């Protein structure tokens, strides 16, 4: 295998089938059980069409022959799978082909049998009450639940013995049997007309001419005549005007599938012309600020060791965007600096020393995270093929950018990158190691994120633009390796993905062939998750509007402009705006929505972006500003008029409420006259400003939400501020908690005010002098602001002197703690790259947690990693270690804290067990009683 690969265990096949649409089917030892959902509901936020088994088709001999109770997938392609049951040379074969209004089965020497499912029963066949034998080639079957089915026996007539539960051909049969659901009486003549021709398999072929692709779905058929095919809305957008539509349709979760007479089915799609940079140049008015931000973020960038694939990949992609922007603005010095960081970050993948090395898994054939190969809950299920197109798109894009400027590195890394490219974008069925386009559903038009162990439900896709990024990464890999075939194929994958995303996740109030007939659902603007049987405003970790919208935009790359259009964009923005001021949602999510706002109002977007203080592990201030500045409008940054305080000169701060100045002490107080005023230097940084005291030579800190001090040696989270102009005054906001600095009765400042009042307002005056003797401290740390969900940051928050938690009584309100184990003597840690809560750190390495009372739940608390904003989760059965990976607290994220002498016991509310240290130093809610391994010290942070 390529460098860095290792071998791992195989993954077991679970044997379930979704589709072929419009049906939902499941293979079983007794045959194929299926249904065509018809009950549809909209609950205000989601549309559901739940699957219910309605019929089962198989040989009657299955119930008496043991050797028939296994089946094999004898063939499969992009649009179909063939299953076969065999007994003594006799066979039962099922052709499951996407888009067919019939399910087709071939029998050779076996008796066809149809069985009623789901407590239904057959009532009549061809107008006769069941309980008789009927001879014919076509049977019209009515059930007790009011369903009507048409059964066509293509080599009939046959005699059918009927009962309430089964319909059985009386003797062994050789030929095809087709089954269709009759929804409307007028549909019968259409189904009769096309019943004799059926597809057994298919091929997807394409041709590219300049920036247009022609795609053909060619079906291999049996029978004489024309083929009837059902099309989804996205197909009909791409079909030619001469298409022969037929009066037959079935409602699915993604709208009506409508019948056309076609073979092949031919689609035409425009392809992107975007390559490494946006099609529009950088607005000159933004150039200076863009370069200032770029310089800061490049010079503060550090390599990160890969302990996972997803979070590391997002961070690597973010660094690669800085490299691409540095090249575009002509900063070779910054480009060279960031390329070194990219090389160092990627090296563990090439030498096999990553925390969980990449591995080739042999059963299904693909690259996986080796440690996740036997744990479907690790690395978002990467080891079981979940989310590969999400994960590897970051690798491919970042590696392509690095390889563009370092051909020697590319030559060394190419085998590794090529393996990832083949994993998610292999175009060839002849490749013996990788399946064709693993996640892409060619008939659905989009990808599915689910792998082979999706215990949470059927197939789903939520982060549509990370799928787009996967194929954009594949495209850039084709560009950097000069592979025109891969370039064209990746552009086709991009075109189909983006078009389907716009059709099925962008909810537009469009009455012309809508994907969702429910206007109330379309009014909600954005779908969060699409499954085979539902589409809804929810994500696996929550249902916040900002996050639902942002997950259909991130990451920001040049291709994003083809995702966000001027129709969906404003609707999405209005839908999200209701949470713009919600403090529980991190700026990470706002950053991409504000950037998208630039599609139709770049000046407003620039003003919004100026309020951000965090961008998540996959985005940056530079990248956000770059997207805004490349929308084809000039004067964005000059006309926005975002006010800023005086920087890089000494200033004094006069409190409006006290009429006195801040002094220069280590705990500044607004209690002195002008002559004794302390002097401070305000310095710009992405997302805000730092404030340095001339007297102490240290950074001013927001005091962890407490008293403001001027004693921090480094600029981290609590040392980052926003300055908001209020008339002639300025209000100072701590970025870490979004609270205003407010003068107290004793003159000290606390970052506790929720809005601007007289007590928060200051006059900032500059004497124009620049420091010459007192050097301001420097720091290589970037702003560390709490992040949320799938995004993270790698820098540490500053700390203050620790004090013990209360030694008696109950916890109340919200408390910041470091938590240490009595038995191990070490502190709890978790991070964006290792989300498991481990007893693994010294006091200096400890993770800072916010333990906060849950509203409406007496004596229950959530535990939140302050740096990542992720909530600690305990599995309901205690089967899994504690992990800080939830965007909001619910049942599994609820804990009680019980005083045990000088220690605390922590109990998971969901299973009522105590959290204890395990042998691998992870923590788990498994203990039925309080013992040393389940006792903890809480130290105020």
The reported pLDDT for the residue numbered 455 is 56
Is 829's pLDDT higher than 60? Answer: yes
Q: Which band of pLDDT confidence, cut at 50, 70 and 90, is reported for residue 812? A: confident
**Percentage of the chain modeled with pLDDT above 70:** 92
Is the pLDDT at 747 greater than 50, yes or no? Answer: yes
506-510 mean pLDDT: 86
The topology (CATH level 3) of 649-766 is Trefoil (Acidic Fibroblast Growth Factor, subunit A) (2.80.10)
Q: Which residues contact 727 (CB under 8 A, 6 or more apart)?
A: none
First vs last Cα of the chain: how many Å apart? 48
Sign of the CA dihedral with 592 first, then 594, 598, and 599 last: positive
Q: At what angle do helices 310-328 and 332-351 cross, to 10 degrees?
A: 150
Q: Say if residue 785's pLDDT is above 70.
A: no
pLDDT at 454: 62
User: In this predicted model, what pLDDT tens digit does every residue of 223-245 receive, in sequence order?
Assistant: 999 999 999 999 999 997 788 99
- The yes-or-no verdict on residue 927 having pLDDT over 70 is yes
Give the angle subtended at the CA of 354 by the CAs of 352 and 356, to the nearest 5°.
Answer: 100
pLDDT above 70 for 910: yes
Q: Does the pLDDT of residue 389 top 90, yes or no?
A: yes
Confidence of residue 10 (pLDDT cuts 50, 70, 90): very low
244-283 pLDDT per residue, tens: 999 999 999 999 999 999 999 999 999 999 999 999 999 9
d(C-alpha 798, C-alpha 796), whole Å: 6
pTM of the complete model = 0.81
**How many other C-beta atoms can be found within 10 angstroms of the C-beta atom of residue 309?**
29
Q: Three-class SS of residue 268?
A: strand
The pLDDT tens digits for 641-674 are 888 999 999 999 999 999 999 999 999 999 999 9
Mean pLDDT of 146-153: 97
The average pLDDT across 594-604 equals 97
Q: What is the mean pLDDT of residues 861-878?
A: 85
Residues contacting residue 623 through CB under 8 Å, at least 6 positions apart: 318, 321, 322, 325, 556, 615
Q: What is the DSSP letter of 669?
A: B
Q: What is the mean pLDDT of the chain?
A: 89
Highest mean pLDDT among 473-487, 874-888, 921-935: 473-487
pLDDT in tens, 342-357: 999 999 999 999 999 9
Report the alpha-carbon distance of residue 572 to residue 562 in Å, rounded: 15
Note the pLDDT of residue 483: 98
pLDDT surpasses 50 at 805: no
Of 186-190, 330-334, 472-476, 780-784, minimum mean pLDDT range:
780-784
Q: What letter does residue 920 receive in the DSSP assignment?
A: T
| Per-residue confidence (pLDDT) for residue 868, from 0 to 100 | 83
Cβ proximity of 319 and 341 under 8 Å:
yes
For 60, residues 6+ apart whose C-beta sits below 8 A from its C-beta are 110, 111, 112, 113, 168, 169
Q: b/e for 500-528, b at 16 or more Cβ within 10 A? A: bbbbbbbbbeeeeebbbeeeebbebbbbb
Contacts of 145 by beta carbon, 8 Å cutoff, 6+ apart:
118, 120
Per-residue confidence (pLDDT) for residue 642, from 0 to 100: 84
For helices 407-425 and 484-504, the axis angle rounded to 10 degrees is 50
Question: How confident is residue 772, by pLDDT bands cut at 50, 70 and 90?
Answer: very low
| pLDDT (average), residues 728-752 | 94
- Judged against a pLDDT cut of 50, whether residue 807 lies above it is answered with no
Question: Residue 107: what pLDDT?
Answer: 97
> In whole angstroms, what is the distance from residue 373 CA to residue 280 CA?
43
pLDDT score, position 778: 37
C-alpha–C-alpha distance, residues 911 and 896, integer Å: 12
Please check the confidence at residue 372 and state whether its pLDDT lies above 70: yes
| pLDDT score recorded for residue 746 | 95
Using the predicted structure, report yes or no on whether residue 413 has a pLDDT greater than 60: yes
Q: What is the pLDDT of residue 789?
A: 34
**pLDDT beyond 50 at 793:** no
Average pLDDT for residues 32-36, to the nearest whole number? Answer: 94
Give the right CATH number for 814-940 from 1.10.10.10, 3.20.20.70, 2.40.30.10, 2.80.10.50: 2.80.10.50
What was the pLDDT predicted at 69?
A: 66
Residue 15 has pLDDT above 50, yes or no: no
Reference 866, options 849, 884, 842; nearest CA is: 849
Predicted confidence (pLDDT) per residue in 510-520, tens digit: 778 999 999 99
Q: Rounded CA gap, 427 and 471, in Å?
A: 12
Say whether 814-940 and 649-766 share the same fold: yes
**Structure tokens of 105?**
């089965």
Look at residue 12 and tell me whether its pLDDT is greater than 70: no
Predicted confidence band at 771 (pLDDT cuts at 50, 70, 90)? very low
Q: Does position 136 have pLDDT exceeding 70, yes or no?
A: yes
Distance of CA 782 to the CA centre of its chain: 25
| pLDDT band at residue 465 using 50, 70 and 90 as cut-offs | very high
Instruction: Out of 489-493, 512-516, 922-926, give the one with best mean pLDDT.
Output: 489-493
The model's confidence at residue 64, banded by pLDDT at 50, 70 and 90, is low
pLDDT digits (tens, 9 = 90+) for 188-211: 999 999 999 999 999 999 999 999
pLDDT-wise least confident of 78-82, 105-109, 765-769, 824-828: 765-769
Under CATH, which architecture does the 24-201 domain have? Distorted Sandwich (2.70)
**Residue 167 has what pLDDT?**
98
Q: When comparing pLDDT for 561 and 64, which is higher?
A: 561
**CB 106: neighbour CB atoms within 10 A?**
23
- The residue ranges of every structural domain in the chain are 24-201, 202-270, 284-640, 649-766, 814-940
Topology (CATH level 3) of domain 284-640: Glycosyltransferase (1.50.10)
| pLDDT beyond 70 at 775 | no
**Cβ proximity of 361 and 372 under 8 Å:** no
């Amino acid at each position: 295998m390529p460098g860095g690969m290792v071998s791992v265990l195989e993954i077991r096949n679970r044997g379930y089938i979704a589709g072929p649409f419009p049906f939902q089917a499941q293979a079983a030892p007794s045959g194929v059980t299926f249904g065509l959902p018809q009950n549809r509901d909209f609950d205000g936020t989601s549309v559901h069409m739940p699957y219910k088994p309605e019929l089962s088709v198989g040989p009657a001999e299955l119930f008496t022959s043991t050797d028939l109770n296994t089946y094999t997938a004898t063939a499969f392609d992009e649009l179909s799978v063939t299953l076969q049951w065999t007994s003594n040379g006799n066979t039962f074969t099922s052709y499951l082909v996407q888009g067919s209004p019939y399910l087709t089965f071939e029998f050779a020497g076996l008796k066809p049998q149809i069985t009623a499912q789901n407590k239904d029963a057959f009532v009549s066949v061809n107008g006769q009450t069941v309980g008789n034998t009927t001879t014919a080639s076509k049977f019209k079957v009515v059930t007790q639940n009011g369903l009507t089915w048409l059964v066509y026996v293509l080599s009939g007539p046959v005699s059918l013995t009927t009962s309430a539960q089964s319909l059985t051909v009386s003797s062994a049969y050789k030929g095809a049997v087709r089954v269709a659901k009759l929804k409307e009486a007028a549909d019968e003549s259409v189904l009769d007309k096309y019943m004799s021709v059926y597809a057994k398999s298919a091929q997807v072929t394409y041709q590219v001419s300049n920036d247009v692709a022609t795609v053909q779905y060619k079906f291999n058929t049996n029978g004489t005549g024309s083929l009837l095919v059902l099309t989804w809305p996205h197909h009909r957008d791409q079909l030619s005007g001469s298409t022969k539509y037929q009066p037959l349709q079935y409602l699915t979760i993604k709208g009506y599938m409508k019948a056309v007479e076609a073979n092949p089915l031919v689609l035409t799609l425009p392809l992107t012309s975007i390559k490494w940079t946006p099609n529009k140049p950088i607005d000159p008015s933004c150039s200076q600020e863009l370069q200032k931000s770029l310089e800061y973020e490049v010079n503060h960038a550090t390599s990160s060791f890969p302990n996972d694939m997803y979070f590391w990949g997002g961070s690597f992609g973010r660094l690669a965007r800085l490299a691409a922007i540095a090249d575009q603005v002509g900063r070779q010095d910054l480009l060279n600096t960031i390329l070194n960081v990219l090389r160092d970050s990627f090296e563990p993948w090439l030498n096999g020393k990553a925390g969980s090395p990449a591995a080739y898994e042999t059963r299904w054939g693909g690259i996986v995270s080796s440690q996740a190969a036997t744990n479907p809950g690790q690395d978002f299920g990467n080891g079981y093929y979940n989310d590969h197109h999400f994960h590897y798109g970051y690798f491919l894009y970042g590696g392509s950018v690095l390889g563009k400027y370092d051909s020697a590195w590319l030559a060394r890394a190419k085998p590794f990158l090529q393996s990832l490219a083949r994993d998610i974008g292999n175009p060839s069925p002849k490749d013996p190691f990788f399946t064709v386009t693993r996640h892409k559903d060619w008939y659905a038009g989009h990808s599915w994120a689910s792998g082979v162990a999706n215990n949470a439900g059927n197939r789903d896709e939520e982060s549509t633009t990370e799928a787009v990024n996967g194929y954009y990464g594949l495209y850039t890999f084709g560009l950097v390796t000069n592979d025109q075939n891969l370039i064209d194929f990746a552009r086709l994958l991009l075109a189909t993905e983006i078009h389907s995303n716009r059709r099925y996740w962008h909810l537009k109030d469009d009455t012309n062939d809508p994907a969702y007939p429910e206007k109330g659902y379309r009014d909600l603007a954005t779908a969060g998750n699409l499954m085979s049987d539902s589409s809804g405003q929810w994500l696996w970790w929550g249902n916040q509007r900002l996050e639902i919208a942002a997950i259909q935009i991130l990451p920001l790359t040049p291709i994003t402009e083809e995702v966000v259009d001027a129709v969906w964009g404003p609707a999405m923005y209005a839908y999200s705006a209701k949470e713009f001021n919600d403090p529980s949602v991190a700026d990470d999510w706002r950053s991409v929505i504000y950037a998208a706002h630039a599609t139709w109002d770049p000046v407003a977007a620039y003003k919004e972006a100026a309020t951000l203080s965090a961008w998540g592990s996959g985005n940056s201030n530079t990248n956000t500003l770059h997207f805004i500045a490349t929308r084809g409008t000039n004067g964005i940054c000059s006309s926005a008029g975002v006010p800023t305080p005086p920087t890089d000169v000494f200033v004094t701060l006069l409190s409006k409420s006290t009429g006195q100045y801040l002094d220069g002490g280590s705990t500044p107080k607004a209690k002195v006259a002008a002559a004794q005023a302390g002097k401070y230097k305000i310095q710009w940084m992405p997302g805000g400003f730092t404030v340095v005291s001339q007297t102490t030579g240290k950074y001013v800190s927001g005091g962890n939400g407490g008293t403001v001090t001027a004693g921090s040696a480094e600029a981290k989270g609590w040392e980052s501020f926003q300055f908001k102009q209020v008339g002639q005054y300025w209000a100072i906001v701590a970025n870490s908690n979004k609270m205003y600095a407010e003068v107290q009765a004793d003159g000290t400042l606390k970052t506790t005010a929720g809005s601007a009042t007289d007590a928060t307002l200051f006059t900032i005056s500059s004497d124009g002098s620049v420091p010459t003797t007192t050097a301001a401290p420097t720091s290589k740390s970037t702003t560390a602001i709490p992040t949320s969900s799938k995004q993270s940051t790698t820098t540490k928050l500053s700390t203050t002197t620790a004090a013990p938690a209360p030694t008696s009584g109950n916890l109340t309100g919200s408390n910041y703690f470091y938590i240490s184990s009595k038995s191990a003597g070490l502190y709890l840690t978790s991070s964006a790259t290792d989300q498991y809560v481990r007893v693994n750190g010294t006091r200096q390495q400890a993770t800072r947690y916010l333990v906060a009372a849950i509203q409406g739940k007496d004596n229950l608390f959530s535990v939140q990693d302050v740096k990542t904003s992720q909530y600690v989760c305990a599995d309901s059965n205690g089967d899994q270690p504690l992990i800080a990976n939830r965007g909001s607290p619910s049942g599994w994220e609820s804990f009680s804290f019980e005083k045990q002498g000088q220690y605390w016991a922590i109990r998971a509310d969901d299973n009522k067990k105590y959290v204890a240290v395990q042998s691998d130093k992870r923590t788990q809610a498994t203990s039925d009683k309080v013992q040393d391994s389940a006792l903890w010290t809480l130290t105020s942070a």
